[in-house]
């Protein structure tokens, strides 16, 4: 990698995942961990689900998802699709370093490689670039991760094209673009569920997590906010700490259920509370 010769080893999920990342280049953030936590792994009809991470970067989302699956005694098959060769190379190295089988696809969603045509996955996950126009950045890799080269419509269309029937689509994005995203996903996904993420309770949402199912006829649901920090403090909220450090899942299915306290149950965050995985 020409622009960044120095690298750091960064721990995620309290050391369950270690990422080698450029010291002065692109780095994964908490968005990756939150997105990985929201992917449903409890679909009974899929024993070893396939997962496509569109714009996989250095691999943080997939590797955090794999760590969740491993703790739950499940196996997933990871595929990453990435435009930038430098990032895909780092992703491949990170997968080997964490002992995770990984298939990397280098390509542009506007003209994907022929070998990828017709591929379908049980889960498609993505954290698309946030901005149509981004401030100039001296690091070209960071600049390309922030600014759209394909429109959001093209990006989402690519994701859904590779989602099998009954498969789930999960994404994280900035709240200002939620109306646009809902209009693009309307009639293409069912059971769309949105979890607003706020800095603190009662503050405006800056990001959200969205999940939906291909072929579902379930109605739209807007969940109560998840505050990432304690009020009046920069410290994480209990719910955020459970996800970002302890690897708990974010249950967007919002099924009714009783809280369970057994230590041998895999737990999830639902409505800011810790619940059992049903």
Q: Tens digit of pLDDT for each residue in 77-87?
A: 999 999 989 89
Cβ atoms of residues 228 and 240 within 8 Å? yes
The mean per-residue pLDDT over the stretch 203-230 comes to 95
Q: Tell whether the model's pLDDT for residue 263 goes beyond 80.
A: no
Residue 132 is predicted with a pLDDT of 59
Residue 137 is predicted with a pLDDT of 53
Residue 256 is predicted with a pLDDT of 28
Q: Which is more confidently placed, 278 or 179?
A: 179
Q: What is the token pair recorded at 86? A: 């430098």
* Least confident window among 91-95, 104-108, 178-182, 270-274: 270-274
Q: Tell whether the model's pLDDT for residue 274 goes beyond 80.
A: no
Residues with Cβ within 8 Å of residue 112, at least 6 apart in sequence: 81, 105, 158
Residues with Cβ within 8 Å of residue 19, at least 6 apart in sequence: 9, 10, 12, 28, 58, 59, 60, 63, 94
Residue 262 is predicted with a pLDDT of 36
* Least confident window among 35-39, 96-100, 138-142: 138-142
Q: Tell whether the model's pLDDT for residue 8 goes beyond 50.
A: yes
Pairwise CA distance, residues 90 & 99, whole Å: 14
Residue 47 is predicted with a pLDDT of 83
Average pLDDT, the chain: 84
The mean per-residue pLDDT over the stretch 99-114 comes to 94
* Least confident window among 35-39, 133-137, 186-190, 261-265: 261-265
Per cent of the chain over pLDDT 90 is 69
The mean per-residue pLDDT over the stretch 161-184 comes to 96
Which single residue is written with the structure tokens 């895999």?
A: 266
The domains found in the chain, sorted by start residue, are 29-276 (3.40.50.150)
Q: Tell whether the model's pLDDT for residue 166 goes beyond 90.
A: yes
Residue 3 is predicted with a pLDDT of 46
Pairwise CA distance, residues 127 & 134, whole Å: 16
Cβ atoms of residues 215 and 238 within 8 Å? no
Q: Which is more confidently placed, 171 or 86?
A: 171
Prediction pTM value:
0.85
Residue 6 is predicted with a pLDDT of 84
Residue 15 is predicted with a pLDDT of 93
DSSP labels, 201-266 = TTSPP-EEEEEEETT--PPPEEPPPEESB-TTSSSBPHHHHHHHTT--EE--S---------TTS-
């Amino acid at each position: 990698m020409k622009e960044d010769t120095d690298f750091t080893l960064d721990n995620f999920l309290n050391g369950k995942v270690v990422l080698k990342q450029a010291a002065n280049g692109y780095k994964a953030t908490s968005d990756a961990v939150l997105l990985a936590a929201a992917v449903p792994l409890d679909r009974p009809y899929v024993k070893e689900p396939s997962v496509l991470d569109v714009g996989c970067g250095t691999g943080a989302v997939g590797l955090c998802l794999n760590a969740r699956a491993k703790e739950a005694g499940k196996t997933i098959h990871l595929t990453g699709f990435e435009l930038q060769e430098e990032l895909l190379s780092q992703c491949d190295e990170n997968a080997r370093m964490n002992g995770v089988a990984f298939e990397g696809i280098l390509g542009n969603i506007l003209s994907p490689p022929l070998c990828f045509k017709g591929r379908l996955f049980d889960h498609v996950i993505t954290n698309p670039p946030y901005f149509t126009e981004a401030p100039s950045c001296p690091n070209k890799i960071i600049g390309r991760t922030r600014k759209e080269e394909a429109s959001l419509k093209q990006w989402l269309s690519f994701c859904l094209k590779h989602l099998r029937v009954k498969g789930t689509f999960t994404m994280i994005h900035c709240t200002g673009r939620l109306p646009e995203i809902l209009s693009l996903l309307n009639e293409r996904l069912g059971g769309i569920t949105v979890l607003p993420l706020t800095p603190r309770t009662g503050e405006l949402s800056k990001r959200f997590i969205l999940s939906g199912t291909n072929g579902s006829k379930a109605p739209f649901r807007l969940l109560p906010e998840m505050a990432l920090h304690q009020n009046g403090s920069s410290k994480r909220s209990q719910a955020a700490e459970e996800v970002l450090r302890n690897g708990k899942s974010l249950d967007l299915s919002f099924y009714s259920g009783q809280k369970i306290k057994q230590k041998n149950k895999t737990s999830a965050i639902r409505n800011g509370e810790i619940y059992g995985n049903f």
